[in-house]
Amino acid sequence: MAAIRQTFFQECEEQLAELESGLLAMEAGDSDSETVNAVFRAVHSIKGGAGAFSLEDLVRFAHVFETALDHVRAGRLAATPEVLKIKLRAADILADLVRAARDGTEVDDNRCRALADELRALDPNGGVEKEDDLSDLNFQPVLVHFDGLDDDDEPAAFSAPEHVFSIKFKPRPSLYAKANEAALLLRELSALGRMQVKCDASDLPLLSELDPEGAYLTWEIELTTDKDEAAIREVFEFVAWDCDLDIEMPGADAASDIDDDLSALLARVRASADEGPQAEAVVGDASFGVADETSNEPALASAPVVALPSKQAPNKAAAEVDAKSAAPTIRVDLDRVDRLINLVGELVINQAMLSQRVMEAGLARASAVAVGLDELEQLTREIQDSVMAIRAQPVKSVFQRMPRLVREIAAMTGKSVRLVTEGEATEVDKTVIERLADPLTHMIRNAIDHGLESPEKRLATGKHEEGLVKLSALHRSGRIVIEVSDDGAGINRPRVKAIAIEKGLIAPDVILSDEEIDNLIFLPGFSTASEISDISGRGVGMDVVKRSIQALGGRISITSRPGHGSTFTMSLPLTLAVLDGMVVTVAQQTLVVPLTAIVETLQPKAADVHGMGDNARVISIRNKFTPLIDVGRELSYRNSAADPLACVALLVETEGGGRSALLVDAIQGQRQVVIKSLEANYRHVQGIAAATILGDGRVALILDVDAVVASSRAEPGFYDNALAAVG
């Protein structure tokens, strides 16, 4: 049951995403019937599933929401911006109710009631449905009768006329595979009226020929209800693709070979008959008899007792077929995928070791073994890429959380905001996606709270009163680049610099470029907020955002034009499992420098290296001074400074777009390495991002370029001197 519940909530998240994107599309003017139907279906599916699990709060709200959506669907209500605003807020509450049901928490009842009233008020006929009218949504199982209708089942005065429906319901295997359950559907159906059920097992084979995941049973149901056929179809709507369903109201449909008048007469005669057919549950052709008294023969003392475990993992992942897509998909437990990724990582390491051993053995490059190894390497790469692709997901799952955030922050700040998203289908590893949500949330908050001006100010400066926040994603150079931009006032550089000086973050007389001033907002302790607001000033500064991105192996930079807005650009690796790196030697230690950080490599010349203060040095590269950082000293591998002329410099670009030159002893070559967490296996080491196992079996540390550059800048006097040299 827990597994089915989990699947239900997973599917709810998908439906909520559909709902929100549909409503946003409608808000943007796309109100075609397909979009409207998709929105309606999403709420209806959630309601149906919630009913099966007796999640009454969720069912009640979904019902009111669904009714309001049905008015739009039926053309009784126009999808005006005001109407859509209410529905978007309703979608937010529906999402809260789903998550509350999942996590066992509560949602403020007053919020739900207030919005339910707003939804009811949308009824174009002015008929506001009272809560009491939702009594038909009681999902308590109704007693199932097997002995015909009770004689005293008189319909209440003024109640709707009752109909007797004959329903034939045959699940297909996919119904069970999608974690739906015939019993739950029958229970929901029983809530509509009085029900008699007959189970037809005539298609059921013997155990030896039975597929335990097959579907062999058909249920013939006779339902006496005051509801119409649509209400019955509603019960089955979210399994419509996965079952054969026949609903007939005896006498309702005319035989084609007799004339209409006669058929109408027959229908009236049939409808007037009080007695429905007596149903009897049968299995195959066997009628159920009254039980004989079972004898109480004692079982043999030595007889084995087999107890089935309460829960066992299914031996096959549930297949999920998307009705809208031709490509079938399966849900796979993430642990299995992770295990596969780890195994492929080991394969890569072993393949590298094997290659190295063969090289050490002195085999010719053209030998059959060497050629075979090359092919193995290529194959290993392809396997690795394919496995990584399994974990890759579109960023849509994170992006789709942002419209709600924008609505909430806009409401809190009194600003009018339009969010535009681009590149939602851009894929990145699931782990990266999961860890993107927090920094993105903060950046969007920041863009609205600090970036966008008030509507009055925007109008005064000739801008549209509605501010624009754009969120986009794209692949670039084997990384994913995510941008958050706004068309607000841009960074107020004089104010930023003044605050940084006031807080002692920079020296008062330091000369900074615009780019450097912009990057001051990433310094710990920096805040432009004069008072802490509930929005972006929650004690979380942009330095935390920057650290989160760096922890993912990413970089963040900012560009800003006064009066035109700001753009935050995050560049992240596509996966946290492998890395293309430059293998270097520093003080007899082997290190890996991420290739994405390296701009170029160069051999320093005496004329280009200059001392700055006691310890710092800069190198002139194409007439531009760049800080020269001795990696060996920064990592405490040695106390004395390395001779730059005997070393190699790696020109690297840091997250702020600034450049530094890292001094290493020698370059061994480029290699793709499997990333192993140092924190998980050892502890955090300053300046080191992770570790890897090289082809010869040795552990090599992967350099955290930004951390090494930052720690070198933290040395007293360095920042001022280096910048003075540049100036």
Partner 1 sequence: MTRTQTLLLPMDLDAVAAASLFEVLSTMVGHDVTIDGSRVEQIGGLCLQILLAAVSTWKVDGAVLEFTNLSLDLVAGLELLGVRPQYFLERETSQ
User: Which residues of this chain interact with partner 1, rule CB under 8 A?
Assistant: 1, 3-4, 141, 144, 146, 171, 176, 179, 181-184, 186-187, 190, 197-199, 201, 204-208, 210, 212-217, 219-221, 281, 283-284, 286, 288-292, 294-295, 299-300, 302-316
Q: Tell me how far, at minimum, the Cβ of 296 lies from partner 1, in Å.
A: 9
Largest CA distance in the chain: 109
Shortest Å distance, C-beta 247 to partner 1: 17
Identify whether the C-beta of residue 198 lies closer than 8 Å to the C-beta of residue 150: no
Q: Closer to partner 1 at the Cβ: 321 or 437?
A: 321
- Name 313's bridge partners: none
Residue 216 CB, nearest distance to partner 1 (Å)?
A: 5
CB of 1 to partner 1, least distance (A): 5
- Shortest CB 627 distance to partner 1, Å: 60
In the bound state with partner 1, the residue whose beta carbon lies nearer, of 299 and 607, is 299
Q: Residue 165 CB, nearest distance to partner 1 (Å)?
A: 16
Amino acid at 211: D
C-beta of 172: minimal distance to partner 1 in Å? Answer: 11
Number of C-beta neighbours around residue 182 at 10 A: 18
Q: Which residue lies nearer to partner 1 by CB, 4 or 473? A: 4
Closer residue to partner 1, CB minimum distance, 241 or 288: 288
Nearer to partner 1, 202 or 681 (CB): 202
Q: Pick the closest to residue 558 from 550, 548, 546 (CA basis).
A: 546
| Closer Cβ to partner 1, 10 or 393, answer by number | 10
C-alpha pair distances (Å), 703 with each of 601, 692, 706: 16, 11, 9
CB 413 within 8 A of CB 488: no
| Contacts for 367 with CB less than 8 Å, ≥ 6 apart | none
Whole-number minimum distance, CB 174 to partner 1, in Å? 12
| CB of 539 closer than 8 Å to CB of 532 | yes
**For partner 1, which is the closer residue by CB, 105 or 294?**
294
Q: Which is nearer to partner 1, 247 or 685 (CB)?
A: 247
- Which tokens go with 214? 């097959």
- Buried b / exposed e across 564-599, counting CB within 10 Å, b at 16+? ebbbbbbbbbbbbbbbebbbbbbbebbbbbbebbbe
Which residues make beta-bridge pairs with 198?
220
Residue 214, exposed/middle/buried by CB under 10 A (0-12, 13-18, 19+)?
Answer: middle
Minimum gap (Å) between residue 200 Cβ and partner 1: 8
Complex with partner 1: residue 208 or 530, whichever CB lies closer: 208
Start-to-end Cα distance in the chain: 68
CB-based burial label for 412 (10 Å; 0-12, 13-18, 19+): middle
Q: What is the DSSP string of 40-105?
A: HHHHHHHHHHHHHTT-HHHHHHHHHHHHHHHHHHTTSS---HHHHHHHHHHHHHHHHHHHHHHHT-
CA–CA dist 241, 330 (Å, integer): 17
Nearer to partner 1, 292 or 531 (CB): 292
CB of 275: closest distance to partner 1 in angstroms? 20
SS3 486: strand
The three-state secondary structure class of 222 is strand
The CB-of-173 to partner 1 minimum distance in angstroms stands at: 9
Sheet with 659-664, edge to edge strand ranges: 598-602, 648-653, 659-664, 624-630, 616-621, 609-612
Q: How far is the CB of 211 from partner 1 (least distance, A)?
A: 9
CB of 149 to partner 1, least distance (A): 16
Nearer to partner 1, 307 or 323 (CB): 307
H or E segment to which residue 247 belongs = strand 243-248
| Cβ–Cβ under 8 Å, residues 515 and 656 | yes
State the minimum distance, in angstroms, from the CB of residue 465 to partner 1: 54
Can you tell me whether residue 167 is helix, strand or coil?
A: strand
DSSP 8-state secondary structure symbol assigned to residue 657: S
CB of 199 to partner 1, least distance (A): 4
Q: Measured from the CB atom, is 303 or 366 closer to partner 1?
A: 303
Reduced to 3 states, what is the DSSP secondary structure of residue 422?
strand
| Strands in 154-212 per DSSP E | 163-171, 193-200
* Coil, strand or helix at 35: helix
Nearest Cα neighbor of 222 from 289, 147, 295, 164 is 164
Among residues 230 and 308, whose Cβ is nearest to partner 1? 308
- DSSP 8-state class, residue 447: I
The residue (of 147 and 151) whose beta carbon lies closer to partner 1 is 147
Closer to partner 1 by Cβ: residue 91 or 185: 185
C-beta separation of 583 from 665 below 8 A:
no
The closest alpha carbon to 348, from 577, 552, 691, 575, belongs to 577
Minimum CB distance to partner 1, residue 42 (Å):
24
**Spatial separation of the C-alpha atoms in residues 73 and 44, rounded to whole Å:** 13
Nearer to partner 1, 171 or 565 (CB): 171
